[in-house]
Structure 1
Amino acid sequence: MAGPDSLSDDKLAAAHRALRSGGDIQFDMMPAPGRQPPPAWLKALGEWLEEVLAPVGRFLRWIGSFMPDAPYARIFLWTIIAVLALLILWIVVDRVRHGEWRLPQWRRRRTARSVDADEEDWTPDAAPARAWLEEADALAGQGRYAEAVHHLLLRSVEDMARRRPHIVRPALTSRDLAHADGIPSAPRRLFTEIAQAVERSLFGGRPIDAAEWDRCRHAYADFAQTRSWAA
């Protein structure tokens, strides 16, 4: 005759079998899903980068072979190398932007007297300015106001190119020139007024009438006078 302990064990075993057969509870550890391989394009990109950057890695290891074993010394030397690399990169970018090789220039704050002297040196010659106005007046007299204002803009740009060759470059627009460094504030404002009139005429389809021509003519007359360049 089975004792109470035997009956209890049988009931427990039966309950365990029933629990496992139900499938509601997981008793076995499932293997982890396999890692998906990377896409073919990503694998090809990684191999290409590895091939391209391999010479760079060899070059850096070659430089590191000349460095001392002291960690702080290596950090200092690598910092200097990084700064020199950034400096070279800046010079190349500046060459692309400005069309000439230039070393970095740290601007010093100038005194008011030196600023005035430099701005007075920007004064356009009176004779060419009068001749340019006469040419523009001839166009305006024929009712060709847009051409007259455009003529004044071109003559203003020519004067800038003659006096500051590094400012005027073929790739720059009149809007770029209006924001260029090295132009006094008063002539900049007058030049901007002429440039905006031409821009509205050429790209905005807005015709230039006699009133706007008169404003641009006065702006150029002020632009060509000494007092505007000494502002």
Structure 2
Amino acid sequence: MSISLLAIFDFIGTVAFAISGAITGIHKKMDIFGVNILAIITACGGGLTRDIVMGNFPPQMFIDPFYVVVAAIIANIVFFLMYYRKGVPVKFSGIYDKGLFISDTLGLAAFMVDGVMIGANFGYEDDLFLLVFLGFITGVGGGVLRDVLSNQMPAIFVKHVYALPVIVGGIVMVIMHDLMHTWSAAMVISFALVILLRFMARHFLWNLPKVEL
């Protein structure tokens, strides 16, 4: 069950982050090539970074390009939908902003689960710090690369406790596995927890403290 469940989370994360990357590329006025590259980097960049950290060479995205193809397909669907609609009507801009938030949140939650599970499958079940870090870097890595390539401050540093829910979700996932001795329930609960924390942060305008100059 865990394997099929992990595949579902992989697919959810890839589609969600591909949408996020494509929308960002379109808003930055990139051409169709740029939109595709940004969508693929956003969808696969976290896994790429995770594999480099783990010394897993070549990274999985180059061995099995299935999710690269999925990201490219999603990017082109988003591009042509917005191309033929001539961009985003002003009255619908809030809907697109909300869609970007939702796709980002689903991607973060799904890839957090993916990162923890990949670490566990590599034999690191007893290393809480490594598992949480792998969940964290898989969850936020693609978004950081997206923001850097689109010339904006990475959301991880400024926005609605972007990264903190991923860290909390990873910790909860590992602890729940230790308590229940099953990954399936831990995956689902921690996935839901990340989404809940992100929506609460957006609703209540939670942000980590920073110095106002």
Name the TM-score, length of structure 1 as normaliser.
Answer: 0.28
Higher relative contact order (CA 8 A, sep 6+): 2
The structure carrying a bigger helix percent of its residues is: 2
Name the TM-score, length of structure 2 as normaliser.
Answer: 0.30
**Greater Rg over alpha carbons, structure:** 1
